[in-house]
């Protein structure tokens, strides 16, 4: 089965450090989504891309977060500088972009900022 | 008000019980709906799509009422392995964005 691949699976770092999370969407999928999940907020959409173009990043704190898709096989989410409140699980998901088709999630990156 | 709302539970039921989860959505432009299942410390996984006519997949039945903007999931003969969080999801066909509910936690006990 094709899968969305995320790296790293876990990341622990000190506040102020840069964090980069990577995602390889399923081959042929043209939409990519970044979500953040915490106990308090549940799943929140941070940003998403269609055909590598950013469509909506309104859910993302612009001052410290950035999302890019340098090519069709790689999406990145960066936090600089990181803060303890960024601790969460970050999921990447990809979809075919066709109406009514669901998304498939990666295993997530569990991020802890000390 | 959240765009997709669910009762967070937890629902604690014995094995073999029938349990139903409900969900409401506020955006009438939402066109497609899904139930995702999320196990502890795992990623959400698609459980089933929800069709207007209602649909069944084994022990699971999903229903959609567009007039009331209401979605349900029924689990019959619940198993221990059904213990998880069930996420109600609305998809905007225009944007391709999935809007997740907070999830309903189910704990099936022996």
DSSP state of A85: G
* Per-residue pLDDT tens over the stretch A35-58: 999 988 888 899 989 899 998 888
Nearest to B100 among A43, A99, A110 (CB): A43
Angle at CA A83, nearest 5°, toward A79 and A86?
70
The confidence score (pLDDT) of residue A99 equals 54
- B93 CB neighbours in chain A (<8 A) are 99-100
* Per-residue pLDDT tens over the stretch B59-103: 999 999 999 999 999 999 999 999 999 999 998 766 667 889 999
Burial label, A111 (beta-carbon count in 10 A; 0-12, 13-18, 19+): buried
Q: Does any CB of chain A come closer than 8 Å to the CB of residue B69?
A: no
Distance CA B73, CA A68 (A): 36
For an interface test with A, the pick among B4, B10, B27, B43 (most A C-beta atoms closer than 10 Å) comes out as B43
- A45 CB neighbours in chain B (<8 A) are 97-99
Kindly report the average pLDDT of chain A as a whole number: 91
Q: Does any CB of chain A come closer than 8 Å to the CB of residue B103?
A: yes
């Amino acid at each position: 089965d094709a899968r969305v691949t995320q790296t790293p699976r876990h990341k622990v770092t000190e506040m102020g450090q840069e964090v980069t999370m990577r995602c390889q969407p399923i081959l042929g999928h043209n939409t990519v989504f970044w979500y953040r999940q915490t106990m308090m907020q549940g799943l929140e959409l941070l940003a998403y891309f269609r055909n590598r173009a950013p469509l909506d990043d309104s859910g993302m704190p612009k001052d410290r977060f950035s999302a890019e898709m340098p090519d069709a096989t790689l999406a990145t989410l960066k936090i600089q500088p990181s803060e303890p409140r960024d601790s969460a699980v970050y999921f990447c998901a990809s979809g075919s972009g066709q109406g009514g088709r669901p998304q498939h999630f990666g295993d997530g990156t569990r991020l802890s900022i000390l | 008000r959240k765009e997709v709302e669910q009762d967070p539970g937890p629902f604690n039921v014995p094995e073999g019980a029938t349990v139903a989860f409900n969900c409401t959505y506020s955006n009438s432009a939402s066109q497609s709906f899904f139930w995702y299942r999320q196990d502890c410390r795992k990623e959400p996984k698609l459980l089933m799509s929800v069709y207007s006519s209602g649909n069944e997949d084994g022990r699971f039945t999903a229903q959609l009422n567009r007039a009331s903007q209401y979605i349900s999931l029924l689990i019959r003969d619940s198993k221990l392995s059904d213990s998880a969080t069930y996420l109600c999801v609305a998809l905007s066909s225009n944007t391709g964005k999935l809007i997740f509910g907070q999830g309903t936690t189910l704990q099936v006990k022996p």
